[in-house]
Amino acid sequence: MTKLAFSKMHGLGNDFVMIDAVRQDIRLSADQVRWLADRHFGVGCDQLLVVEPAQTPGVDFRYRIFNADGGEVEQCGNGARCFARFVFEQGLSDKREIRVETQKGIITPHLEDDGNVTVDMGVPVLKPADVPFVSDSDAWVQPLDVAGTTVAITAVSMGNPHAVQVVADVDTAPVAEQGPQIEHHPRFPARVNAGFLQVVDEHNVRLRVFERGAGETLACGTGACAAVVAGILRGLVASPVRVATRGGELTIAWGGVGTPVMMTGPAVTVFTGELTLP
């Protein structure tokens, strides 16, 4: 029987089980990830985050991200902020700026004095083939057939893939209906996170995201980055942009094509615990 110490954290209600695999010798199967993520039989979370020793010189840690469905993915924005608070609170690092490698490159969370965390999320990828999105056009806005209707999406990778559409009102947007269809759309061969963006004014938007491998979450950090990139490319908003999600607000700043996206928001520890893995 394997004992596992963990922390339960959240960023705007996007919740995580955090595991220290620096001091614990732990390797989880997809079944164990699904069990931990299960809200009835396990701890419950949208994503499970595993902190490991770095594999690259000059980098502090590696962190791995698993969706509630057990699949490992490339990037997680709210998770990156929680990762930074976790390693600080757990005494794994006393640095306020931490270089961490993910499946899709190195990101740099910074613990702010006010308790928020700012993360350099890297340069967004816009070339369709690299998102990956199947298209013979490089246009920022592209039609996508979704269950008999055509929606206008912007495909953006923040390390992980996003399809962002603009809606009149997020409260009435067809998130539950279209979300699963977009997630599994054949033009997104790695599946995709489906974002629904409402522009309030030049510096304020509202956002809902149906996440790949987790369903709709209360907030999605990379989704907020992708939505602001899409909004700026479409000429609808200007940096910085406050993104209101169902779980709270993030601030996203982006200087344009070829520059990194900066994300600022909270990271909260809810409780710590120990369990026996099945």
Ligand X SMILES: N[C@@H](CCC[C@H](N)C(=O)O)C(=O)O
- Integer Cα distance of 45 and 210 in angstroms: 15
> Is 204 assigned a ligand-binding role in the annotation?
no
User: By rule CB under 6 A, what string of x and - marks binding of each residue 180-219 to ligand X?
Assistant: -------------x-----------------xxxx--x--
Q: What are phi and psi of 132, to 5 degrees?
A: -90, 140
Told to check if 73 binds ligand X by CB under 6 A, we report yes
Beta bridge partners of 269: 9
Does the annotation count 225 as an active-site position? no
3-state secondary structure of 20: strand
76-115: contacts with ligand X (CB under 6 A): 76-79
Cβ of residue 222: shortest distance to ligand X, in angstroms? Answer: 3
Provide the minimum distance between the beta carbon of 214 and ligand X in the complex, in angstroms, as a whole number. Answer: 5
3-state DSSP: the chain helix, strand, coil percent, rounded to 5?
Answer: 20, 40, 40
Residue 70 marked as a ligand binder = no
| Closer Cβ to ligand X, 165 or 193, answer by number | 193
Which residue, 124 or 221, has its beta carbon nearer to ligand X? 221
Query: Within positions 9 to 38, which residues make up the interface with ligand X, using CB under 6 A?
Result: 14
Q: What contacts 34, CB < 8 A, 6 or more positions away?
A: 42, 68, 69, 70
Instruction: Work out how close the CB of 274 gets to ligand X at its nearest, in angstroms, rounded to a whole number.
Output: 25
Tell me which residue has tokens 């029987």: 1
Q: Quick check: 265 binds ligand X (CB under 6 A)?
A: no
- Asked if 216 and 208 touch (Cβ cutoff 8 Å), the reply is yes
Residue 116, annotated ligand binder?
A: no
Region binding ligand X by CB under 6 A among candidate stretches 56-64, 69-77, 102-110, 244-252:
69-77
Separation between Cα atoms, residue 58 and residue 92, nearest integer Å? 16
| Residue 251 near ligand X by CB under 6 A | no
| Choice between 198 and 222, CB closer to ligand X | 222
Q: Any idea which residue has 């979450």 for tokens? A: 217
* Helix 221-233 vs helix 77-89: crossing angle, to nearest 10: 140
**Least Å from the CB of residue 3 to ligand X:** 27
Structure tokens at 10: 């959240």
Q: Which stretch binds ligand X (CB under 6 A): 73-81, 99-107, 228-236, 252-260?
A: 73-81
User: Which residues, numbered 141-160, are part of the site for ligand X (CB under 6 A)?
Assistant: 160
Which residue in 45, 76, 82, 225 is the catalytic one?
76
**How many residues bind ligand X, per CB under 6 A?**
20
**Does 82 participate in catalysis according to the annotation?**
no
H or E stretch covering 71 = none
Six token digits for residue 111: 């613990």
How far apart CA 221 and CA 243 sit, in angstroms, is 10
CA–CA dist 141, 151 (Å, integer): 10
Residues annotated in a binding site:
14, 47, 67, 77-78, 160, 193, 211-212, 221-222
- Residues marked as catalytic: 76, 220
Give contact residues for ligand X (rule: CB under 6 A).
14, 46-47, 67, 73, 76-79, 160, 193, 211-214, 217, 220-223
